[in-house]
Structure formats: C-alpha cells, structure tokens
C-alpha cells in the first residue's frame, strides 16, 4: 500500500502556510450566509442596490481577512517565565508582544495556546487592544505545566478576530522557551522532616566566611582583605566586606528512593521531597541535603541558592540518561 | 465615553439608519417606527440588569411568538407580507434592546440592521439610500469592531475585560480610523461589484408587484376633491427628455395624458368599458395606437429603422407635427403610463431581463397601461401635441354623434333640471360645437380657482357636487372645472370625457431634462370633433393650471436635487447590462458576432496604466504623509522595524543611543554596529550644521538590515 500523502488543496495550503490557520466563527458563518442570500437576491432580481450591498458585504469579508492577516503577520510574541515554575501550579509568565510595523497600529491581538497541540500544559491567554507602531507591550499571565522536568512552554499562537470577530486568524509563534519545571510544592508541616535531623552544623542567622551570601558590612580591622567587595567599595567610596550566612545548627537529609520519571509513586515521592525541602529551608538555621538512591546527591546547605539547586535536581531526577 | 456606552449608542444609530432606508422606501409605517422608537428609548435609558431573569426571558419568548403568529396571519390573510415582516423585525429589535447585556445580543441587533438595509435596497430607489448606506456602513463597522473587542473580554475573562474597557476607551480615535478605512474599502467593493458584476436578473421566485403607493387619483375611480395636497407637493414624479428641444420653452405646456374616464355619477368618475376600446398594434420597438387617424406615415426617426408618425388629417393643418420624448416615470402605484396628448406610439426602454417582462397594453379611451414590477419605468412616446385651431374646430360645425359615442353622453339629463337648463342657456344659439364649448368655458372662467374646497354639505342630502360647484361655491380646483365642462357639454349633446394627467413640465438645466412634479397634476376635458378626433379643452383658469408651479419652496435647490435624483436613476437604479457592456466597450473590450470577447489591448493597457498611475500617486502621497520626510529618519524607522521584529522594540521614552545600549546589553546580533548607527543618527538628526555624513549612516543601516 502506498504511504504517499494526498496533496492538500492549494487554498488550504495557502491558508496554513507558515503556521497560520483560519477559523470561521459563528458570527462569521451567519454573515457569510447573509451575504450569499443577498448575492442570490441580487443576481435573481438584477437590483442594482442589492448588488451594491452584496459587493460591500463581500468587501467586508475580504477586508476582514486581509486585516486579520496583516495583524498576525506583524505581531511578534515571546513568553518568558517571570518566576520559578512548579508542576501543576499556575505560575507567572510574561508575554512580550511587539508590533513589527513602524507605521501602523496593531489592534486586538491575543497570544494563546496552540490548541492543535495535544498537551496538558496550559497558559492563560492574554489580549491587548493596541500596540503602537514599532512598539512593545508586556502582558502578564500564568502557565500551568503538567509535569516536572525540562520542557518547552506550551506552543503559542498569535491570534486575532480583528476587525469584526467573523474569522479567527492564528499564526504560530516560532520561538518557544524551554524551562525547568520544578516539582509541585504542597504545604507540608516541617516536623515531618525534622525527625531525621542529624544534629550537626552551625547556628542559624550567624554570618560566616562561607555559605550563602548574606550581605555587606563596613570593613573592620582584622578582616580578611580577600573578603573586601571591590565593586561596592568603588561605588560607595569606603571599604566594605562580604558576609555569608553560616550553615544551620540542625540538619536534615531527605531520602528519595530510586525511580523513573512518570511512575506515579516516584512522582509522588519527588513532590513530597520537594515540599519538605522547601518547607525545611524556610526554617531558620536548618540545613537541608538530599540523598537519592542512598547516595548523597545534594550536600547540606541553606538559602535561596541552595533551594534552587535542590529543586533543579528534583526537577530532573529519575529521567533516563540521554543515549549517546 | 466608555466602550460599553459607545456600543449601546452605535447599536441605536445603526438600527435607526437601517430603519430609515426602509422608511424612506415607504415599506415601514411611521406609526410602527415611532412605537418601536419609544420602546427602544425606554430600553436605552432604563437600568440594564446584569442578567435577564428566567421569568422575563419566558415573557419575551411568548411575546415574540405571539408577534410571529400575528405577522404570519397578517401576511396570509391580508396579504401584507412586507409590512408584517418589517413590523415583526421591529418587535425583535425592541426585544433585543431590552436584553442587550452581552456581545451576542448586539451582534443580533447588527444582523437585524443588515436585514433592514437589504429591505431598504429593494424598496428604496431614492437618492437618500446611498447616503444612508454610506453612513450606516461606517457606523456598523465601528459597532462591529467595538462589539468584537468587548466579546473578547467576555471570552477571555475578567482580567482581559478590564484591559479591553480601559485600553478600548482610550483608543477610540484609532478604532474610528480603522472602521472608516474598512467602510471605505467596503464601499469601493460595493461599487466594483455594482459596475462589473453582470446583471443576469434571472427572476426566479419573483411574482407580481410588491409595493403599492397611491399618490394621486390616476386609477379608474376618481372622486371629486382631494387634489389639494397634490397641488402643493413638489415631488418629481417623472423626468422627460424630448428628442429635440429646439423651440421648446422652459415651462412646457404639453398635456401629459394618464387616465381617461367616461362615466359620471354623484361626484364620482369611473370608466364604463362602453367607451372607445383602443388596443395597441405592435410595430418594431413600438406599440401603436391603431384607430384615431394614426398610422405609419410621416417620417419620425425611431430606433430600429421604423418611421412612426401621424398621418395627415383633413381640416387640421398641423396634424402631421409630432414630438418624441423619453420618460422615466417613478413608481406611482398605478399601472397608467403618461404621454403627451395626442399619443401615437409608445415603447418601453428596457433595462435588462426583468424589465423585459414588463408589458404595455392599450385600455379604454386611449389609456396606456403597463404590467410591471415595482420601481421606476422608462419608456418613449411619439405624440401629436399640436391642437386644431379654433377656426378649424369651428369649421367642423356640429358633427354627427353616432351610437359609438353613446358612452360619452352618459348622465345626460340625470343630474338635475338646473344643470340641464344651465347648459341649454349657455349653448343657446351656438353656431358650432366649438362655439358651444367656448361659451361654457367662458362661463366657467368667471369662477374662482381654489384648492380649499370644503366637503360639499349638500352631498348629504343627495345633491351632486357639480351642482354645488356650479350654483353655490363657484370655486374649486381643476377636477371641478373639468367635471363641470364635461357635464354641461353632455347636457348639450356633446360627447366628452374627462382626462387626468399632468400639465406640462419644468426644464431642469442642471440635468438637461423636464421634471414633471406632483403639483402639475391636472384634469381637463376631451371633446369629440368628428373626423378631427378628440380635442383637448381646459376650462381651469390659467392661475389654477399653473398653481403648482411655485410648490417648491426653494426652486434652485429643488432643481439641483431633481438633477441629482435623475442622475441617480439613470446611472445607478437603471444601470444595466447594456450600460455594463458600454463601459467594457469604453475600456476596450467588445463582443464579436460570434459572441467571443475581443479586447483592444492598447486601450486596455492605456486605461489600466492610468488607473495604476493614479493609484500609485495616491499611495505615494499617503506613504509620504505617514513616512518620515528625511532620509535619516526613514533609515532609522527601517532599523527600528527590523529590531522590533526581533523582539527589541524601542520604548517611547528611549533615545536612539539608550535603545541601542539596551539592545547591546541583551546580546542582540550586530549590537556594535547598532551602537555606532544610533550615535551617528543622533548626530545627523540633531547635530549642528549640515555636514553630517548621511552616506555613512546609510552604510551602517544596510549592514544592520542585511543581517538575518
């Protein structure tokens, strides 16, 4: 049996060229039916005024199509994560929408998910009434990713129903940003993890020479010159040194058994570990580490940077090694 | 004004304009329109609930259902299909206005408006239609855009709704500009289809007349009285173009004959069917009145090579003089055609397939009737407008009255002895029939012409209105004068009939045609003179005959409007396949004998080139107006556009160097060149002197634009 694909009609190919699509709304169908009826009445009766009305309606359909085409053609859009993205949680995303035309306004444009792609990831649509010629606008929305890991943001389309809402014209936004989706974080009591404290480490809130960056302070005699923060000295005109937060007095090493991405039990364990890690890191002076498959995967640490390291590890843990 | 308020107002305006097209076409009753307007005003100013309750919705559904039933019954039982349909649409409009919370309801209002416009296009042949339609189109485009924006808010949720309301309210100028552009495009589209779309006029499902409008008494049943309104109405009912205008005055005094009635009874004229039956004889292109001394003879040029004209009548020196004129008659709601008396032949000037279905037929008393579809009708007539002189009429003596003319003596001795006595007294000693006629006319000319004739009280006690006119009021309008002459002559044994039509026309220099106005409506009498046929006599005093001449309040303006209306009828309403072919011929395309299309490429190229040059000039002008005028600005705009496409659009507050710095810090390609370009642009644009190196700027711009 031949596997050759049946060639699509030219009109459909033209309409779908460069990731575009055209859909007729219910109002559009109504308008088309009305236009055809008027056209039939005009041809039937030979009435000149009906010909004018028919022509105007046809021109509105054509003009509507042309305007929506130019609208999507000159719209540029980009989705950028505005904060950390956690699975199954609405997270903020910035949509940068610009008008590539230096002379004409961009009117009534939305950036939506491409609903032709079968994915559980969802991004709420954004809409703007006007982008000035050559200008750019930033819109804010939320994205909900279904799974943790490294994934592209949902495929977006620039869509418009401009000017009359008769047709929906869409064009794919070529550029998709790949993001690291952290596991879902649930609110868990921190005690769940504290039972496993090892009782080693330093007091919380104290500054130290190593650890998470804490802040700057005036240089005092006896300070190690290597701790002088030269850019700040240049800016402030007086000597200042870096301070680092010391590790906590207590420690917790979370345990995560070996598993594979996609396995519901493993996914639940990852979410639990991530939730506990985040909850524990909120506790002052508590250092958190992670042991995966009985081996220390993330050493003890505190602070926002350590939190990110932990979550990034948990985002991809269990994924099969890329084949060479 | 918020976007919601704007949408409400646009909905009201568009539906009003759409209704106006129907109203002006006479297919909507004023009473219906006023009632619907009242309800719409109430709906507009009442506080709109966020949602219509279920019980209210049920109430509206029942109301609409009842209206549908009533309209159906009205259409089926009374035959008022159009009126019932229009009234039902008005009910739907009111219902939608009371429940217009969402975009969907406003869209339905727009659809109802579109239906009204379609009806208007069918019934309204006035010049007001294109004007109303153009305004309607702009308003509707704006209403559609605003409704679309608000529907996006409804679709995408509360956050977008707020953004739409905020941004939309501040961008109304931009939206108006967009809607005007789209409306302009739609109008051009409409014009193109109008010009080039072939007029097939296949005529499926078309049956009979639709609109009926009675303007004046040109039917087969006329009652005395009722001309007052017509005499003060300056509406143009027909436009006439004589083939040869040489020697014709600006105030033409032809008697344009319409209906002719022979039976008089109790103040009412009707047609007896016992009078002169005058069928038409078909000659190429023309229908010719057979009897009455009319035949092919004296050469009068008729299209198609047929010569048509009156044969000489012995004793009537000017009997062979004739005129030929083209007439565009507005739809009067009656089937009578008007042509200068004494008409010889008439031919339709067809405007396409549908007009070809129209048929002219002869009636009684030399009436001309037409079976036609609604709308104006165009035709030509050839007439003998000269009358026998008084001497020629006198020379006829008292012609014999044979039995064929019995119908024209009906009512003799039946009205009252006083009328008979008056007729005998006036005609006593008359040397000829013409003498008798002139004696009675002389008597009637002592009466007063007046449009303010009170309803004759004597009619209640059975007295004939003509008696009241002759013996009591001695004042009336042309119908009274004509009736009195006809009745008195019949009492004297002279065959007469009354004729209703128009007395002449007014030359319109702007449009080069003669306008026949409603105020020219007139009645006169035809008297039989044996072998000379029927002669026209007009007993109405001159002042009365010309009473309608000053009906127009601003004659110059009325003339200009008449000219516009005539041009509109000629070039828009009557635009047909022939005119399309003429247009194509003008553009260089001709149809050969074998029905193949041959194109004069030279002429087509010339015409096409002209259009392209004009379009190019218009585009260039617009482009120049929109584009920066200086070379460096143009280069800067192009570079801005390129980087905006890459996602680095300049912010309104940024200078060129600041923008270039931001782009460079974001790691965009070619940022080093861009930085140089931005600095140089600043120097060229704002630096002192004219020594700035534009060519260097151009080189940098080229490098930036060439990058992928």
Note whether B191 and B289 are same-domain residues.
Answer: no
pLDDT exceeding 70 applies to what percent of chain A?
83
Nearest-Cα residue of chain A relative to residue B171: A130
Which tokens hold the place of B586? 């003008």
Separation CA A60–CA A64 (nearest Å): 6
First to last CA, chain B: 46
B368-386 pLDDT, tens digit per residue, is: 888 876 667 888 888 888 8
SS3 B495: coil
φ, ψ at B333 (rounded to 5°): 80, 5
The answer on B160 and B290 residing in a single domain is no
| H runs (alpha helix) in B405-529 | 417-427, 433-444, 465-467, 478-491
pLDDT in tens, B23-68: 888 788 899 999 999 999 998 888 878 887 888 889 989 999 999 9
Neighbours of B689 (CB within 10 A): 5
A65 neighbors B187 (Cβ within 8 angstroms): no
When mean pLDDT is compared across B124-138, B217-231, B563-577, B654-668, the lowest value belongs to: B217-231
Please determine, for residue A263, whether its predicted confidence score (pLDDT) is greater than 60. yes
Least confident range of A114-123, B254-263, B569-578, B655-664: B569-578
CA distances from A129 to A114, B163, B168 (A): 20, 8, 6
Residues A60 and A148 in one domain: yes
Q: What pLDDT, on the 0 to 100 scale, is given for residue A254?
A: 87
Q: pLDDT tens, A96-143?
A: 888 888 778 888 898 888 877 777 888 888 888 888 888 888 888 899
Residue A165 lies in a domain: yes
Nearest to B244 by CA among B338, B322, B328: B322
- Please, which residues have CB within 8 angstroms of residue A38's CB and are 6 or more apart in sequence? A50, A53, A54, A57, B118
Tokens of B435: 């003498």
- A75–chain B nearest CA distance, Å: 8
Q: Of B170, B197, B224, at which residue does a domain stop?
A: B197
Do A69 and A177 sit in the same domain of this protein? yes
- Residues of chain A in contact with residue B205, where contact means CB-CB under 8 angstroms, are 44
Q: Are A28 and A80 in the same domain?
A: yes
Q: Given this model, what pLDDT does residue B66 score?
A: 93
A105 shares its domain with A147:
yes
- Residue A232 buriedness (CB in 10 A; 0-12 / 13-18 / 19+): middle
Would you tell me which residues 521-580 of chain B have a C-beta closer than 8 angstroms to some C-beta of chain A? 572-576
Choose among B222, B382, B196: nearest CA to B300.
B382
User: Do B119 and B219 share a domain, yes or no?
Assistant: no
pLDDT digits (tens, 9 = 90+) for B601-619: 777 787 778 888 888 888 7
Q: Which chain A residues are Cβ-neighbours of B201 within 8 angstroms?
A: 43-46
Of the ranges A106-120, A254-268, B682-696, which one carries the lowest mean pLDDT score? B682-696
Model pLDDT, residue A300: 85
Across chain B, mean pLDDT equals 80
Is residue B71 a part of any domain in this protein? yes
User: Are residues A159 and A57 both part of a single domain?
Assistant: yes
> Is A163 in the B-facing interface, judged by CB distances under 8 Å?
yes
Q: What per-residue confidence (pLDDT) applies to B425?
A: 92
Judge if B184 and B242 occupy the same domain: no
Dihedral sign for Cα atoms in the order B97, B103, B105, B108: positive
Per the model's pLDDT, the better-predicted residue between A284 and B282 turns out to be A284
Both tokens of B32, joined, read 């219906």
Residue B231 near residue B547 (C-beta atoms within 8 A): yes
pLDDT of residue B489: 93
Average pLDDT over residues B350-354: 62
Residue A10 lies in a domain: no
Q: Which residue in chain B has the smallest CA separation from A102?
A: B641
| Geometric angle at alpha carbon B607, from A67 and B595, rounded to 5° | 100
pTM: 0.61
Same-domain check for residues A199 and A132: no
Burial class (CB in 10 A: 0-12, 13-18, 19+), B575: buried
What is the structure's pLDDT at A7? 62
**Residue B560 falls inside a structural domain:** no
pLDDT of residue B391: 92
Going by C-alpha positions, the residue among A185, A210, A220, A186 that lies closest to residue A287 is A210
Question: Using N-to-C axis directions, what is the helix angle for B103-123 and A26-45, rounded to 10°?
Answer: 0
pLDDT of residue B542: 81
Residue A94, in any domain of the structure = yes
Give the pLDDT confidence score for residue B353 in this predicted structure. Answer: 57
Is residue B14 over pLDDT 90? yes
Residue A53 lies in a domain: yes
**Which of left, alpha, beta for B116 (phi over 0: left; psi -120 to 50: alpha)?**
alpha
Give pLDDT, residue B307: 56
Contacts of B117 in chain A (CB under 8 A): 53
What integer pLDDT is reported at residue B166 of this predicted model?
83
Nearest CA in chain A to B355: A46
Residue B649 and residue A49: Cβ atoms within 8 Å? Answer: no
Q: Which of A54-63, B528-537, B640-649 has the lowest mean pLDDT?
A: B640-649
Q: Percentages helix, strand, coil for chain A, rounded to the nearest 5? A: 30, 35, 35
The CA distance from B324 to B341, in Å, is 12
Domain finish residue from B197, B226, B248 = B197
Out of B167, B197, B227, pick the residue that ends a domain: B197
Note which residues in 614-673 of chain B have CB less than 8 A from chain A. 626-627, 637-638, 640-641, 644-647, 649-652
Give the mean pLDDT of B528-551. 80
Is B553 contained in some domain? no
Indicate whether A120 and A252 sit together in one domain: no
> B414 and B353 in one domain?
yes
Q: Quote the pLDDT of residue B498.
A: 92
CA B565 from centre of chain: 7
Question: Range with the lowest mean pLDDT among A76-90, A118-132, B349-363?
Answer: B349-363
User: Residue A2: which pLDDT band, with cuts at 50, 70 and 90?
Assistant: very low
Size of interface A-B (CB pairs under 8 A): 204
Query: Which range is least confidently modeled, A24-28, B10-14, B574-578?
Result: B574-578
Lowest pLDDT segment from B59-63, B306-310, B482-486: B306-310
Domain that holds residue A164: 19-181
In a domain, A14, yes or no: no
d(Cα A295, Cα B260) in Å, to the nearest integer? 118
pLDDT at A39 over 70: yes
Query: For chain A, how long is the longest CA-to-CA vector?
Result: 103
Within this chain, do residues B182 and B227 fall inside the same structural domain, yes or no? no
Asked if residue A257 and residue A150 are part of one domain, the reply reads no
pLDDT of residue A205: 44
- For residue A181, the SS3 value is strand
Using CB atoms, which residue from B117, B206, B641 is nearest to A101? B641
Q: Which of B503, B459, B450, B457 is nearest to B480 (CA)?
A: B450
Q: Is the domain of B37 the same as that of B179? A: yes
Percent of chain B with pLDDT over 90: 17
Do B403 and B468 share a domain, yes or no? yes
Task: Give the residue-averaged pLDDT of B305-322.
Answer: 73
The answer to whether residues A204 and A306 belong to one domain is: yes
**pLDDT of the residue at B438:** 93
Collect all residues of chain A within an 8 Å Cβ-Cβ radius of residue B125.
49
- ipTM greater than cut 0.90: no
Euclidean distance between CA atoms B640 and B307, whole angstroms? 76
Count: domains in chain A: 2
Q: Which residues of A308-320 are buried (b: 16+ CB within 10 A; e: fewer)?
A: eebbebbbebbee
Task: Please give the pLDDT value at position B244.
Answer: 83
Q: What is the pLDDT of residue B191?
A: 86
DSSP per-residue codes, A75-115:
EEEEEEE-S-EEBTS-EEEEEEEEE--SSS-EEEEEEEE-T
d(CA B240, CA B324): 10
pLDDT > 70? residue B204: no
Looking at every residue in chain A, the average pLDDT score rounds to 80
What does the block give as tokens for B614? Answer: 């004009």
A255 — pLDDT class (breaks 50, 70, 90): confident
* Res A151 pLDDT > 80: yes
* Domain assignment of residue B701, given as a range: 611-706
Q: Pick from A239, A171, A177, A244: which is nearest to A209 by CA?
A: A244
Note the pLDDT of residue B666. Answer: 83
Instruction: Give the pLDDT band (50/70/90) at residue B303.
Output: very low
Q: Do A266 and A176 belong to one domain?
A: no
Query: Where does the pLDDT of residue B484 fall: very low under 50, low under 70, confident under 90, or very high at 90 and above?
Result: very high
Question: B369: part of which helix (H) or strand (E)?
Answer: strand B368-371
Residue B556 falls within a domain, yes or no?
Answer: no
- Residue B230 and residue B215: Cα distance in Å, rounded? 8
Tokens (6 digits) for B546: 């010309």
The verdict on A270 and A200 lying in the same domain is yes
- pLDDT at residue B90, as a whole number: 93
pLDDT tens track for B272-290? 888 777 777 666 555 555 4
At residue B339, the 3 state secondary structure works out as: strand
Statement to judge: residues B328 and B424 lie in one domain: yes
Give the nearest partner residue to B137 out of A50, A56, A64, using CB atoms.
A56
Domain count, chain B: 3
B358 vs A3: which has the higher pLDDT: B358
Q: How far from B265 is each of B270, B410, B490, CA to CA, in Å?
A: 8, 9, 13
The answer to the question of residue A66 being in a domain is yes
The answer to whether position B566 is within a domain reads: no
Give the lowest-confidence range in A47-56, A110-119, B391-400.
A110-119
Neighbours of B651 (CB within 10 A): 10
Cβ-contact B524, B499 below 8 angstroms:
yes
Judge if A261 and A154 occupy the same domain: no
Within this chain, do residues B487 and B344 fall inside the same structural domain, yes or no?
A: yes
Q: Cα B532–B536–B540 angle (5° rounding)?
A: 155
Is there a single domain that holds both residue B25 and residue B52?
yes
CATH number where A96 lies = 2.60.40.10
In the predicted structure, residue B486 carries a pLDDT above the cut 90: yes
Integer-rounded Cα Rg, in Å, for chain B is 36
Tell me the pLDDT tens digit for each residue of B65-74. 999 999 888 8
Using CB atoms and an 8 Å cut-off, which of residues 80-109 of chain B contact chain A? 103, 107
State residue B512's pLDDT score.
Answer: 83
User: In this complex, do B160 and A52 lie within 8 Å of one another by their Cβ atoms?
Assistant: no
Q: How many angstroms separate the CA atoms of B11 and B48, rounded?
A: 15
Judge whether B584 lies within some domain. Answer: no
The band of B201, judged by pLDDT with boundaries at 50, 70 and 90, is low
Residue A120, in any domain of the structure = yes
Contact A98 B644 (CB under 8 A): yes
Domain assignment of residue A236, yes or no: no
pLDDT band at B109; cut points 50, 70, 90: very high
Same domain, B90 and B187: yes
Across the interface, whether the CB atoms of B650 and A128 are under 8 A apart is answered no
B18 Cβ under 8 Å from any chain A Cβ: no
**Model confidence at B462, in pLDDT bands (50, 70, 90)?**
low
Q: Could you tell me where the DSSP H helices lie in B492-592?
A: 542-545, 555-568, 577-586
- Alpha-carbon distance of A22 to A111, in angstroms, equals 15
| Closest CA in chain A for residue B637 | A102
Do residue B644 and residue A59 have CB atoms under 8 angstroms apart?
Answer: no
Short-list B451, B424, B453, B464, CA closest to B440:
B424
């Amino acid at each position: 049996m031949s596997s050759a694909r049946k060639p699509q009609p030219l009109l459909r190919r033209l309409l779908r060229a460069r990731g575009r699509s055209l859909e007729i709304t219910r109002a559009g169908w109504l308008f088309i039916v009305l236009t055809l009826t008027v056209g039939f009445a005009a041809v039937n009766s030979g009435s000149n005024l009906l010909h004018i009305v028919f022509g105007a309606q046809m021109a509105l359909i054509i003009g509507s199509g042309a305007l929506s085409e130019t609208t999507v053609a000159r719209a540029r859009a980009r989705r950028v994560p505005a904060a950390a993205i956690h699975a199954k949680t609405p997270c903020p995303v910035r949509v940068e929408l610009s008008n590539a035309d230096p002379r004409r306004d961009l009117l009534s444009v939305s950036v939506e998910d491409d609903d032709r792609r079968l994915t559980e990831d969802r991004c709420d649509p954004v809409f703007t009434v006007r982008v000035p010629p050559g200008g750019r606008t930033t819109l804010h929305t939320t994205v909900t990713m279904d799974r943790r890991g490294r994934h592209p943001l949902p495929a977006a389309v620039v869509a418009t129903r401009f000017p009359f809402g008769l047709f929906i014209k869409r064009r794919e936004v070529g550029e998709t940003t790949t993001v690291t989706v952290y596991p879902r974080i649930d609110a868990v009591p921190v005690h769940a993890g504290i039972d496993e404290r090892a009782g080693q480490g330093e007091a919380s809130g104290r500054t130290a020479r190593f650890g998470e960056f804490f802040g700057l302070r005036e240089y005092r005699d006896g300070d190690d010159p290597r701790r002088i923060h030269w850019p700040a000295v240049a800016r402030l005109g007086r000597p200042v040194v870096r301070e680092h937060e010391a590790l906590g007095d207590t420690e917790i090493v979370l345990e995560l058994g070996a598993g594979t991405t996609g396995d519901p039990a493993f996914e639940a364990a990852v979410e639990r570990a991530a939730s506990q890690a985040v909850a524990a890191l909120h506790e002052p002076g508590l250092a958190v580490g992670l042991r995966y498959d009985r081996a220390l995967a993330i050493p003890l640490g505190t602070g926002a940077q350590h939190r990110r390291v932990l979550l990034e590890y948990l985002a991809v843990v269990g994924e099969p090694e890329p084949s060479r | 004004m918020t976007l919601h308020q704007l949408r409400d107002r646009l909905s009201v305006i568009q539906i009003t304009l759409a209704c106006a097209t129907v109203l002006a076409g006479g297919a909507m009753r004023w009473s219906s329109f006023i009632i619907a307007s009242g309800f719409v005003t109430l709906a507009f100013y009442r506080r709109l609930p966020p949602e219509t309750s279920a019980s209210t919705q049920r109430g509206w559904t029942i109301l609409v259902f009842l209206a549908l039933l009533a309209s159906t019954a009205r259409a089926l039982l009374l035959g008022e299909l159009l009126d019932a349909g229009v009234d039902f649409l008005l009910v739907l409009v009111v219902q939608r206005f009371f429940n217009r919370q969402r975009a969907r309801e406003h869209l339905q209002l727009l659809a109802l408006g579109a239906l009204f416009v379609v009806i208007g296009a069918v019934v309204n042949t006035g010049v007001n239609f294109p004007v109303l339609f153009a305004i309607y189109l702009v308003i509707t485009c704006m209403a559609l855009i605003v409704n679309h924006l608000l529907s996006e808010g409804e679709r995408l949720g509360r956050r977008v709704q707020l953004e739409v309301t905020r941004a939309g309210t501040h961008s109304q100028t931009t939206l108006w500009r967009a809607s005007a552009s789209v409306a302009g495009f739609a109008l051009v589209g409409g014009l193109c289809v109008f010009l080039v779309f072939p007029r097939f006029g296949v005529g499926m499902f078309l049956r009979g007349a639709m609109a009926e409008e009675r303007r004046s008494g040109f039917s087969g049943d006329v009652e005395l009285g009722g001309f007052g309104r017509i005499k003060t109405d300056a509406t143009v009912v027909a436009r006439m173009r004589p083939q040869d205008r040489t020697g014709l005055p600006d105030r033409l005094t032809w008697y344009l004959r319409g209906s002719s009635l022979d039976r008089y009874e109790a103040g009412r004229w009707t047609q007896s069917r016992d009078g002169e039956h005058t069928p038409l004889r078909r000659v190429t292109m023309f229908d010719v009145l057979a009897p009455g001394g009319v035949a092919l003879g004296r050469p009068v040029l008729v299209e198609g090579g047929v010569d048509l004209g009156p044969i000489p009548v012995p004793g009537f020196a000017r009997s062979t003089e004739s005129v030929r004129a083209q007439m565009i008659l507005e739809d009067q709601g009656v089937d009578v055609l008007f042509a200068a008396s004494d008409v010889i032949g008439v031919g339709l000037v067809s405007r396409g397939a549908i007009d070809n279905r129209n048929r002219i037929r002869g009636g009684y008393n030399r009436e001309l009737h037409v079976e036609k579809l609604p709308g104006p009708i165009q035709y030509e007539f050839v007439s003998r407008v000269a009358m026998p002189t008084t001497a020629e009429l006198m020379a006829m003596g008292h012609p014999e009255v044979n039995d064929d003319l019995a119908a024209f003596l009906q009512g003799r001795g039946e009205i009252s002895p006083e009328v008979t006595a008056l007729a005998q007294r006036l005609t006593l000693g008359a040397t000829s029939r013409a003498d008798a006629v002139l004696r009675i006319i002389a008597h009637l000319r002592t009466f007063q012409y007046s449009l303010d004739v009170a309803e004759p009280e004597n009619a209640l006690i059975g007295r004939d209105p003509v008696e009241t006119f002759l013996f009591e009021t001695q004042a009336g309008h042309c119908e009274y004068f004509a009736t009195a002459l006809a009745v008195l002559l019949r009492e004297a044994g002279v065959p007469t009939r009354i004729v209703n039509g128009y007395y002449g026309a007014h030359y319109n220099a702007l449009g080069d045609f003669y306008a026949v106005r409603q105020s020219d409506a007139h009645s006169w009498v035809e008297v039989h003179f044996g072998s000379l046929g029927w002669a026209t006599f007009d007993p109405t005093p001159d002042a009365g005959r010309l009473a309608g001449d000053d009906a127009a309040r601003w004659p110059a303006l009325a003339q200009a409007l008449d000219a516009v209306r005539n041009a509109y009828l000629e070039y828009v309403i009557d635009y047909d396949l022939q005119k399309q072919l003429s247009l194509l011929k003008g553009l260089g395309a001709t149809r050969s004998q074998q029905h193949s299309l041959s194109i004069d490429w030279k002429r087509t190229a010339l015409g096409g080139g002209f259009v392209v040059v004009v379009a190019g000039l218009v585009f260039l002008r617009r482009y120049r107006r929109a584009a920066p005028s200086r070379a460096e600005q143009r280069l800067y705009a192009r570079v801005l556009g390129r980087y905006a496409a890459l996602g680095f659009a300049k912010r309104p507050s940024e200078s060129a160097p600041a923008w270039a710095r931001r782009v460079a810090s974001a790691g965009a390609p070619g940022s080093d060149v861009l930085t140089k370009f931005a600095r140089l642009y600043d120097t060229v644009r704002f630096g002192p002197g004219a020594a700035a190196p534009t060519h260097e700027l151009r080189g940098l711009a080229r490098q930036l634009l060439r990058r992928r």
